[in-house]
Structure 1
Amino acid sequence: MSEAEAGGGRRFWPLLPEILLALAVLASLGMTAAFFLHHGYLPQPFVLDTNDTFMDWFNTAYWANNRGIYDVWRSIYPPLSFAFLDSFSLHSCYLQSPFYARDCDRLGRATLIGFYLLDVVLIWLSLRRIDRVTAPWRTIALGLGLPLLFTLERGNLILACFAFFVLAHGPLLQSRLWRGLAAAVTINFKPYLVLPVLELAVRRRWRMLELAGIATIALFLVTLAVVGSGTPGEIASNTANWIVFQSGQVWNEVNYSTSYAPFLTMRQAQVPLLDFVPSRTIETIEFAVPLAIRLTQVMALAALVAAWLQPRALPASRIAALLLGAYLVTQSPGGYTQLFLLFLVFMEPMKRPGPSLAILCAYLLCLVGDVMLAPVLQITSTSWLGERTVDPQFGLTYGHFARPGLIILIVWALSLDAIAQVARAHGASRPSLGLAAA
């Protein structure tokens, strides 16, 4: 065997697990497509309301084109979302209902699909710059996996936000100004994305953090002036109202979650879950869930403290993943928010056990579809995608229990590896806790 052949073999065998996992994602996508062609609707964990496809986009766009965003609809989105959708919608389509607008607004649908395609391209370009060998397989998993497809089916504004997230936290932009502006856009779309930006504080990159903060505030003020409403007080008040509303939406929360926290409200669920789940299981969940969440928070905090001591020992993407992962374990802003975490995980090399385990979990989270444990309800509704009447059946699935657990495993794997890397770096040279270079 020649040296070139031997080198090729050494590159292939470590890559084999990623190839197989990417093919598994493709196979799961094929099975979901076959299910859709046969039944006329998308299976779990896609949303129960089969007539609601794209409506995260068009419900929001309806209010972007009409009055009452914060006092009638009581939105919790910052003004950027409405300024953006107002710019990318046909105003004449929003004189009636949001459902009418979905069929009428060709610009809105084209923008939605366009951002999905842009997201896939940016994923490919970013991962290819990091590692050309693993990029195709990780791009397949992210681009055709459940989190991004779920986001597309919902028409959630994460489609637009994610493009800027990749620019802010990926390797494509080198300019501090442009990275700061991209980070500002992500925060103004989804405020919880301030968490990965705080990696700048952990690494003591104060000038970059200041730039991102100024850009975030400036963009908020500009869009506030454009929209004419959406002050911090209005958003805070509506958020409190939203939390109360969400407490009555347990099934939607459990269906596709990043956290086990929604399981704590199962006893109060409107769906009679106790008819399908033994009470002892519920009691075990109520004991184990808070313990798992707290221990994971402690582990992530320990890794972040370690990173503060050795700010150069870990890449920025790792610290951002720990900050975001600890939040997603604590509560779920929606299953599609995994997308941000998985992108950060796929920037890791599969070298040590910790990152390798995290990457394995990331691939598993990209598998499309689910396997039902127990049916809970069946309804008759109209499928917008299938253009016919359907009888979807939904229930408890393996994914309800597995996905939050995989997020926990990612946080633990990255945290333990971070602590080990910091300990190794600390043994080699003990840093000064002064200001790091900006």
Structure 2
Amino acid sequence: MSAPRVHLLPLVPEALLALAVVVSAGWTLHVFLDVGYLPQPFVFDTNDTFMDWFNTAYWANNRGIYDVWRSIYPPLSFVFLDATSLPGCYLQSSFYARDCDWLARSTIYAFYVIDVVLAWICFRRLDRRTAPMRTVAIALGLPMLFTLERGNLILVAFAFFMIAHGPVTASKPWRWFAAAVTINFKPYLVLPMFAHALKRDWRTLEMAGLATIALYLVTLALVGSGTPMELASNTANWVVFQGGQVWNEVNYSTSYAPLLMFRTLDIPLLQFVPSRLIETIEFLVPIVIRAGQLLALAALAAAWLQPKALPAHRIAAILLGAYLVTQSPGGYTQLFLIFLVLMEKWKGAGPITAIVCAYLLCLVGDWPLATVLDVTGTSWLGERTVTASFGLTAGHFIRPGLIVIMVGALSLDSIARVVHAHRSEQPSLGLVPA
């Protein structure tokens, strides 16, 4: 009678972590119903819900995508949004379109459901016992809910990401196509694909690369703009623009790097936190970032020597995690990393540590440390005027640290696995599958 209990013991921590995610989501819902807006780390512009989607869709239905709006999105985003919107709703502002375009709103909700279903399929095929908990973490976790509230195209890209990197299908052409879609939606998602290079899976890398180029050329022809030169120029302009948006970057970040720009803020920071804390941050943050990068680099070098020792999703997680430790393309990008980490088995100190960090990153809400600003405006979700309070929170310091720990734990475990494999097999330095 004792054997089943031992078998179920590893499920208890995950069940408790998943329950914590559900409770945190319920608490956030309670706060929303009470005050009329979503608390931090959700965006402090309470009237901006879904506007990542509708601001982009506005330009998909009007001229000036790359020369007026200076978009950094490849053309696929605009082809997709043009096909899933009602053109008559975009004759005025993007805010008017949000209330008018039922098709676009339905598409947002539909892809949320699709993402949850695909996550369930992936986790169930990997381990039926842990699938419910991990699906709950994805469905009700902060990265997914933040993405949903923003209406970001990550909702669409994530579905194809799971097809490309998860056990949704065994069809290689479909996986190549899905990888091409993810990269054309979010170019930084090319990084996880380099796992196939370290695995010596050259055919997958080549075919996915060709599919990516082909899809880009087709959508470029359909849009009529979005050339590599336009994208490069607009990206340079975007980097300068983001330099003036430090608070937005710090609010929900994957990296400690935005904290280093605190000194450039107009906000009198010393009124809210001690100067010694700021000095400590400025001293420790570069060390933490470099340590995470070095561990990831060592693990990737080890993976190159012993490509059989590590699964592709582990290498993909380290590649993407190293990028997110270095800089933050937005807190919702954690969704991709968390999915890759939750494909790990609850076995060994490194994977268990990473999985726990993934669950903690899914907790919804934050712990305020000091109020910096109060913003009065209309809450689109609450349908009323609200005064939203935002400021420094514990999450600003904890979440980037959890990602560093996650990447470090997987990297150290990977190095250990490679060392173990090296004892029984010589390293493979050739250009053919090991």
Would the TM-score normalized by the shorter structure come out above 0.5? yes
Q: Is 1:367 matched up with 2:353?
A: no
1:270-289, aligned counterparts within 5 Å? 270-289=266-285
Gaps of 5+ in 1: none
Q: Is 1:160 matched up with 2:156?
A: yes
- Number of the residue aligned with 2:393: 397
Structure 1 distance, partners of 2:91, 2:219, is 23
- Number of the residue aligned with 1:107: 103
- Number of the residue aligned with 2:297: 301
- Extract structure 1 runs of 4+ deviating beyond 6 A: none
Q: Is 1:94 matched up with 2:84?
A: no
Q: Is 1:54 matched up with 2:50?
A: yes
Shift in Å, 1:273: 2.1
Q: What is the TM-score with the length of structure 1 in the denominator?
A: 0.98
Residue aligned with 1:374, SS: strand
- Number of the residue aligned with 1:32: 28
Structure 2 distance, partners of 1:267, 1:217, is 41
Question: Which residue, out of 311, 329, 333, partners 1:333?
Answer: 329
Shift in Å, 1:172: 1.3
After TM superposition, the structure 1 stretch with the greater mean CA deviation from structure 2, 327-336 or 425-434, is 425-434
- Number of the residue aligned with 1:422: 418
Paired residues of 1:248 and 1:270 also in contact (CA < 8 A): no
Paired residues of 2:199 and 2:433 also in contact (CA < 8 A): no
After TM superposition, the structure 1 stretch with the greater mean CA deviation from structure 2, 9-18 or 107-116, is 9-18
Paired residues of 1:76 and 1:239 also in contact (CA < 8 A): yes
After TM superposition, the structure 1 stretch with the greater mean CA deviation from structure 2, 60-69 or 197-206, is 197-206
Residue aligned with 2:9, SS: helix
Structure 1 distance, partners of 2:7, 2:69, is 55
- Number of the residue aligned with 2:217: 221
1:347-362, aligned counterparts within 5 Å? 347-362=343-358
Q: What is the TM-score with the length of structure 2 in the denominator?
A: 0.99
Percent identity reads 71
Structure 1 distance, partners of 2:363, 2:230, is 38
Question: Which residue, out of 67, 70, 76, partners 1:74?
Answer: 70
Gaps of 5+ in 2: none
Structure 1 distance, partners of 2:17, 2:204, is 37
After TM superposition, the structure 1 stretch with the greater mean CA deviation from structure 2, 284-293 or 109-118, is 284-293
CA RMSD in angstroms comes to 0.9
Paired residues of 1:54 and 1:156 also in contact (CA < 8 A): yes
Structure 2 distance, partners of 1:270, 1:205, is 50
Structure 2 distance, partners of 1:431, 1:330, is 29
Question: Which residue, out of 100, 122, 135, partners 1:139?
Answer: 135
Shift in Å, 1:384: 0.1
Paired residues of 2:118 and 2:159 also in contact (CA < 8 A): yes
Shift in Å, 1:7: 2.9
Shift in Å, 1:274: 2.6
Structure 2 distance, partners of 1:36, 1:432, is 55
Question: Which residue, out of 5, 21, 25, partners 1:9?
Answer: 5
After TM superposition, the structure 1 stretch with the greater mean CA deviation from structure 2, 204-213 or 325-334, is 204-213
Structure 1 distance, partners of 2:4, 2:30, is 36
- Number of the residue aligned with 1:256: 252
Residue aligned with 1:392, SS: strand
* Number of residue equivalences: 434
Question: Which residue, out of 287, 292, 296, partners 1:291?
Answer: 287
Paired residues of 1:65 and 1:86 also in contact (CA < 8 A): yes
Shift in Å, 1:421: 0.4
